[in-house]
Amino acid sequence: MSTDDPPVPPPPDAPAPGTAVAGLELRPLLAGDADRYLALAQANREHLTAHGDYVDEVAASVGDVRAQLERTAADPPLTFGIWWQDTLVGRCDLVPVDPPRYGLGYWVSAASQGRGLASAAVSAVLAYAQTRCTATDVFAGVTHGNERSVALLRRLGFVEAARFERYTRFHRRLG
């Protein structure tokens, strides 16, 4: 199966989205993952802050990250670690801005780029958002200069919705 194939929607009681790529999993990112997650973010400091994003994230303490993950714990889960062959390589979040409208955030490590992992993870999260969260619309903001993220969103059917001084907002209607 290629990363261009649509994901199989998860069953209604699935704890996390399934992906179309063997070895790629999305798992709820929990407070117990704070050490591992922060180590990954800090190891990718240059990559994550290249466009001015994630500065606070990579500067956070383990306690800050743990508290943030505790605050964002939800049922159904909305914050996911992206795991490639049992190694944490990134994160993908749904943000319940105004359900059934959600925000989307995601990143993968520099070493994981270019393999379709982010595309497959975001695609799976979109299917999950629609089936598990009954989302109707998803929005994502991309800092100017982050062309990889723009390309990913366009491949997945997002369209430009608004341009701001530092970022562009993209939108995808689900359903």
122 in a structural domain = yes
Whether residue 68 has pLDDT greater than 50 = yes
* DSSP states of 82-132: EEETTEEEEEEEEEEEETTEEEEEEEE-GGGTTSSHHHHHHHHHHHHHHHH
68 in a structural domain = yes
Whether residue 141 has pLDDT greater than 90 = yes
Domains contained in the chain, number: 1
Whether residue 174 has pLDDT greater than 70 = yes
CATH number at residue 92: 3.40.630.30
92 in a structural domain = yes
Q: Are strands 24-28 and 87-98 parallel, antiparallel or unpaired?
A: unpaired
Whole-number mean pLDDT of the chain? 91
On the question of a cis peptide bond just before residue 76, with omega within 30 degrees of 0, the verdict is: yes
156 in a structural domain = yes
145 in a structural domain = yes
**96 confidence band (pLDDT: 50, 70, 90):** very high
**110 confidence band (pLDDT: 50, 70, 90):** very high
What's the CA gap between 96 and 91, in Å, rounded?
16
E runs forming strands in the chain: 24-28, 79-84, 87-98, 101-108, 137-143, 159-163, 167-173
121 in a structural domain = yes
What is the DSSP secondary structure assignment for residue 55, as one 8-state letter? Answer: H
123 in a structural domain = yes
Instruction: Quote the tokens at residue 29.
Output: 């990112």
83 in a structural domain = yes
What's this model's pTM, rounded to 2 decimal places? 0.89
pLDDT at residue number 15: 58
Whether residue 52 has pLDDT greater than 70 = yes
Whether residue 71 has pLDDT greater than 50 = yes
Q: Are strands 101-108 and 137-143 parallel, antiparallel or unpaired?
A: parallel
pLDDT at residue number 1: 36
**18 confidence band (pLDDT: 50, 70, 90):** confident
pLDDT at residue number 16: 74
Q: Which domain holds residue 77?
A: 24-173
